[in-house]
């Protein structure tokens, strides 16, 4: 497998760092990270610089990856215009659209994508949209970059990326909240704190592994665990009430989708 070509990564936070680790495992040509607080990402073949002005002269990336917070983008992304010329721009920012990013960078080939934090263990899922002007080779490069951190799917409607952000982008936080609440509820029932934590984590991770290994729908797996007249049925009667989980999850995803659209500016 050939190494990935030279990349410029703008933003070396948790997601940017996780992606860089996946690319290095895959094999990566000499690349540059632009982030004043990411000196720890420096490694053989990876140069970290504090700002765009410090990018080595003559460096020409095949892809420019935008991994800064959307609130910071307007102040830093326009400075990449010369480096983005001839490269594909891969944005993992929540909110800013292909059109808005194009307004900052001019005539650029832009892919907008939303990964999630399991990318840190190469088990993420990313949904991507290719904007106008992205050719087959550029799309294939972006697919390879994203496949280095987990599954990849593509959509033809950019508007879906906001909902993707709400579901899979934020989804790990919802799952972690479930583990947190299970642990708390176990402790409330008198289970020792260490055991409550162990039970909650193993239940969430084990159930996720079972779901991943099964070809059944999640609803079918739920029903299989729910004995008529049993304890799980009693609990689900509370969780699945009209004003409980079904309504709350829909409201939560709707709120996150709307916020992603607001961040588009």
Q: Do 16 and 98 belong to one domain?
A: yes
Give the residues of the chain that fall short of pLDDT 50.
none
pLDDT at position 213: 97
Q: Do 133 and 27 belong to one domain?
A: yes
Among 103, 129, 161, the domain-final residue is 161
pLDDT at position 203: 98
Q: Is residue 223 domain-resident?
A: yes
Q: Do 81 and 184 belong to one domain?
A: no
The 109-114 sheet, strands edge to edge:
46-49, 31-34, 7-10, 63-66, 88-91, 109-114, 124-130, 150-154
pLDDT at position 66: 97
Q: Do 84 and 181 belong to one domain?
A: no
Q: Rounded to an integer, what distance in angstroms lies between the CA atom of residue 259 and that of residue 255? A: 6
3-state SS of the chain: helix, strand, coil percent to 5?
A: 55, 15, 30
Among 137, 161, 185, the domain-final residue is 161
CA 211, 217, 223, 224 dihedral sign is negative
pLDDT at position 107: 84
Show the beta-strand stretches assigned E in the chain.
Answer: 7-10, 31-34, 46-49, 63-66, 88-91, 109-114, 124-130, 150-154
92 neighbors 113 (Cβ within 8 angstroms):
yes
pLDDT at position 2: 79
pLDDT at position 167: 97
pLDDT at position 3: 87
User: Which residues does 89 contact at the CB level (< 8 Å), separation at least 6?
Assistant: 63, 64, 65, 66, 101, 105, 108, 109, 110, 111
Q: Which residue segment(s) compose the domain that 61 sits in?
A: 7-161
Q: Rounded to an integer, what distance in angstroms lies between the CA atom of residue 120 and that of residue 107? A: 32
């Amino acid at each position: 497998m050939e190494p990935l070509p030279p990349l410029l990564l703008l933003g070396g936070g948790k997601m940017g760092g996780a992606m860089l680790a996946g690319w290095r495992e895959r094999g990566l040509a000499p690349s540059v990270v632009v982030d004043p607080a990411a000196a720890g990402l420096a490694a053989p073949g990876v140069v970290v610089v504090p700002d765009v002005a410090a990018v080595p002269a003559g460096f020409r990336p095949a892809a420019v990856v935008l991994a800064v917070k959307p609130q910071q983008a307007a102040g830093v992304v326009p400075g990449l215009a010369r480096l983005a010329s001839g490269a594909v721009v891969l944005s993992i920012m929540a909110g800013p659209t292909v059109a808005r990013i194009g307004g900052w960078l001019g005539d650029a080939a832009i892919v907008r994508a939303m990964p999630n934090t399991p990318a840190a263990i190469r088990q993420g899922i990313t949904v991507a949209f290719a904007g106008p002007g992205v050719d087959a080779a550029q799309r294939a490069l972006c697919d390879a970059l994203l496949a280095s951190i987990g599954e990849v799917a593509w959509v033809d409607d950019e508007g879906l990326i906001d909902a993707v952000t709400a579901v899979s982008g934020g989804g790990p936080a919802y799952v972690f909240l479930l583990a947190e609440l299970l642990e708390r509820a176990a402790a409330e029932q008198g289970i020792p704190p260490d055991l409550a934590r162990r039970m909650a984590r193993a239940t969430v991770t084990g159930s996720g592994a079972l779901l991943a290994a099964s070809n059944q729908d999640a609803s079918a797996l739920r029903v299989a665990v729910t004995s008529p007249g049993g304890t799980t049925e009693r609990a689900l009667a509370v969780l699945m009430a009209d004003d409980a989980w079904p309504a709350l999850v829909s409201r939560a995803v709707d709120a996150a989708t709307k916020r992603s659209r607001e961040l588009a500016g």
